[in-house]
Structure 1
Amino acid sequence: MHAQPGTVAILVYEGLCVFEFGIALEIFGLPRPELDVPWYSHRIVAVDPGPMHALGGLQISVDAGLEELETAQTIVVPGWRNRRDPPPEALLQAIRRAHARGARLLSICSGVFVLAATGLLDGETVTTHWQFSRELAERFPLIKVDPNVLYVDSGQIITSAGSAAGIDACLHLIARDFGTHIANSVARRLVMAPQRTGGQSQFIVAPVCKSPRNELSRVLQWIRENLDKPLSVCEMAARVAMSERTFLRRFIETTGLSPKAWLQQERLNRARELLETTDQSTAGIAQACGYRSVESFRAAFRNAVGLPPSAYRERFGGGEVSAQAAWVANY
């Protein structure tokens, strides 16, 4: 039985980026009766008085004001209108009060500049669009900025990289609340692949192609079909008739990760799915996902997810079979 995730407050203001606002509204604002879980309620919250104008001239009129932040469980900050424009003090105070009572904060792209101005990010590791990372680090030297990841989850605060990475961060929050099988179902509704992990690089030179013409697509599918086996880079390279050096370069260009990191990610994704949707033993899951011992599996899982496998199953188990399997053949 899933707990009620509460209200998501999505901020709007003069100069709003419609795309990033739309991400939050699409993911948290649409009813999803097909999921059979208690979904989020949402409120659109005006930062500025009167009708506001988003980028492109779209006029926005919102009745709810900052008082909504007093009860929201999650607050989403889309990209800020101007990184050099100080956020209103009333907004900063409202965010600080919300954080103090336990509300979660999620910024998309340059929305992190608003959170940084509150002082709540001091001493934390965050991310933003790679183009803004140096500016963020220079203006807020107490914050550690990682420009190489899609999003950073520090518990109560999630920061994401450039625009589309906001989708991954929002799906990650859904996975925290409901499990990966629900997050993957939402991803399928959005007609996109299952959520990318936060540690994946922002710099993907060539996206993973769904076409059979992509020379690595066959080996990616083969890896996913053989996660229970020990797999070496040499063996992967041989399947596409490449030298190891060429294979490593092409693999990183295609996925944004090294083969070792990508394989670990896929093994853990499979483990999460099995923990959520089966009653298979921890030892059986470790073997099915290619780990040499239960101990090494538990350590890797806890390091990546923040929970031991047993606690993860207790929290997220009992869901329907993940939609991820339907995606991997085309990913």
Structure 2
Amino acid sequence: MHHVGVLALGGVYPFELGIPARIFGAARDESGAPLYTVATCSLDGRPVRTDADYEIGVSRDAGLLAAVDTVVIPPSGALGPIREEGRLPDALRAALAAVRPGTRIVGLCTATYVLAAAGLLDGRPATTHWRDADRLQRMFTTARIDPDVLFVDDGDILTSAGVAAGIDLCLHLVRRDHGSQIANEVARSCVVPPWRDGGQAQYIRRPVPDPGGTGTAATQAWAMQRLAEPLTLADLAAHAHMSVRTFSRRFREETGTTPGQWLAAQRTDLARHYLETTDWPVDLVARRAGLGTGASLRQHLHAAIGVSPQAYRRTFRAA
């Protein structure tokens, strides 16, 4: 029997708080016996105010965490001090310090801040909600934050992206502990996919450059209206009234990438839009997005988010 302890912090999000009990609680062996126990605690054993309009009563304090095999920390809407200062409150720091060596520690969504502030992510890969990824990386420079994936498994430290990615991570742990057959049965019982293609990069919308801005912003906006056309570096530089060398340097300074890489990314994003909103064949989507052929679109889309055009369309196409 594997024992899971869930720490409910003040301001906890109820949806994510319920994920571990729902997923691990559905895992059964061939005889129907449960494979996990799940217990929830607060730091002091008292009821916890959630981010919704109600409290959750618990009967255990954080001493529970020293006696379990896996600790799960759901996100909270009251992590402001940790996100601002990068420091843990004394009670929370003491609770995590009491966790036995070798215990798995799981941070769901923005609870990754808690793990980082506890020093558990130094030199280690992790993820969090994509909106917080850059901020988390700036605050904890020794962590290796990946903003594109749904979850990261680094052995005894695991982290997930936003909201439903916590389901993906808990299913992954069941699969890791007991194999795909039991994990698939859990997914079927909970009516969720046993595995989702791609990562949270699928859900990120990139800002459109302001054509009234300085530098190369006007040329970026101009190019985005002509992605289906064969644009060259010389075309972009001419529109910006710069030499090719100066334009390339300025463009990289402003965007962090080359004009060619930027064009490929914008065309891939446009293709994603067409896949979501049209019934066009893949080859037509590729041509309208400026990617040429269906094979080229498949290559670019797989490099960007790890899925095929057909898989992407199945995920996002409106009924």
Q: TM bucket by the smaller chain?
A: 0.5 to 0.7
Which residue number corresponds to residue 257 of structure 1?
306
Structure 1 residue 188, shift from structure 2 partner:
1.0
Note closer, same or farther for the CA distance 1:51–1:203 as it changes in structure 2 (3 Å cut). same
Which residue number corresponds to residue 321 of structure 1?
none
Structure 1 residue 24, shift from structure 2 partner:
1.4
After TM superposition, the structure 1 stretch with the greater mean CA deviation from structure 2, 179-188 or 81-90, is 81-90
- Contact 2:10 2:78 survives alignment (8 Å): no
Distance in 2 (alpha carbons) for counterparts of 1:56 and 1:137: 29
> Is residue 2:158 matched to residue 1:108?
no
Structure 1 residue 85, shift from structure 2 partner:
2.2
Note closer, same or farther for the CA distance 1:215–1:159 as it changes in structure 2 (3 Å cut). farther
- Contact 2:199 2:305 survives alignment (8 Å): yes
SS in 1 for 2:110: helix
Amino acid at match of 2:121: L
Distance in 2 (alpha carbons) for counterparts of 1:41 and 1:183: 16
Distance in 2 (alpha carbons) for counterparts of 1:37 and 1:176: 18
- Runs of at least 5 residues in structure 1 that lack an aligned partner in the other structure: 220-233, 263-331
CA deviation profile, 1:108-150 (whole Å, cap 9, x unmatched): 1001111111111111010000000111111111111110111
- Runs of at least 5 residues in structure 2 that lack an aligned partner in the other structure: 83-87, 204-271, 287-291, 312-319
After the TM superposition, which parts of structure 1 deviate over 6 Å for at least 4 consecutive aligned residues? 213-216
Amino acid at match of 2:138: E
Distance in 2 (alpha carbons) for counterparts of 1:154 and 1:109: 16
Which residue number corresponds to residue 14 of structure 2?
18
Distance in 2 (alpha carbons) for counterparts of 1:214 and 1:44: 47
Structure number with greater Rg is 2
- Contact 1:80 1:113 survives alignment (8 Å): no
Structure 1 residue 259, shift from structure 2 partner:
4.3
- Contact 1:35 1:182 survives alignment (8 Å): no
> Is residue 2:95 matched to residue 1:46?
no
Which residue number corresponds to residue 164 of structure 1?
164
Amino acid at match of 1:55: D
TM-score normalised by length of structure 2: 0.63
Note closer, same or farther for the CA distance 1:50–1:63 as it changes in structure 2 (3 Å cut). same
Note closer, same or farther for the CA distance 1:58–1:33 as it changes in structure 2 (3 Å cut). farther
Structure 1 residue 196, shift from structure 2 partner:
3.1
> Is residue 2:62 matched to residue 1:69?
no
Structure 1 residue 252, shift from structure 2 partner:
5.1
SS in 2 for 1:85: helix
Which residue number corresponds to residue 202 of structure 1?
200
Distance in 2 (alpha carbons) for counterparts of 1:117 and 1:152: 18
RMSD: 3.2
Note closer, same or farther for the CA distance 1:179–1:140 as it changes in structure 2 (3 Å cut). same
Distance in 2 (alpha carbons) for counterparts of 1:171 and 1:134: 27
> Is residue 2:302 matched to residue 1:243?
no
Mapping for residues 163-202 of structure 1, pairs under 5 Å: 163-196=163-196, 200-202=198-200
Distance in 2 (alpha carbons) for counterparts of 1:185 and 1:31: 8
% same residue: 35
Mapping for residues 1-331 of structure 1, pairs under 5 Å: 4=1, 6-30=2-26, 32=28, 36=32, 38-48=34-44, 50-86=46-82, 87-98=88-99, 100-196=100-196, 200-204=198-202, 243-244=293-294, 247-248=297-298, 256-259=305-308
TM-score normalised by length of structure 1: 0.60
- Contact 1:96 1:120 survives alignment (8 Å): no
SS in 1 for 2:132: helix
Structure 1 residue 84, shift from structure 2 partner:
2.6
- Contact 2:27 2:186 survives alignment (8 Å): no
CA deviation profile, 1:178-222 (whole Å, cap 9, x unmatched): 00111111111111222237xx32122579x9xxx9788xx9xxx
- Contact 1:92 1:114 survives alignment (8 Å): no
Amino acid at match of 2:112: V
Note closer, same or farther for the CA distance 1:67–1:117 as it changes in structure 2 (3 Å cut). same
Structure 1 residue 258, shift from structure 2 partner:
4.4
CA deviation profile, 1:291-328 (whole Å, cap 9, x unmatched): xxxxxxxxxxxxxxxxxxxxxxxxxxxxxxxxxxxxxx
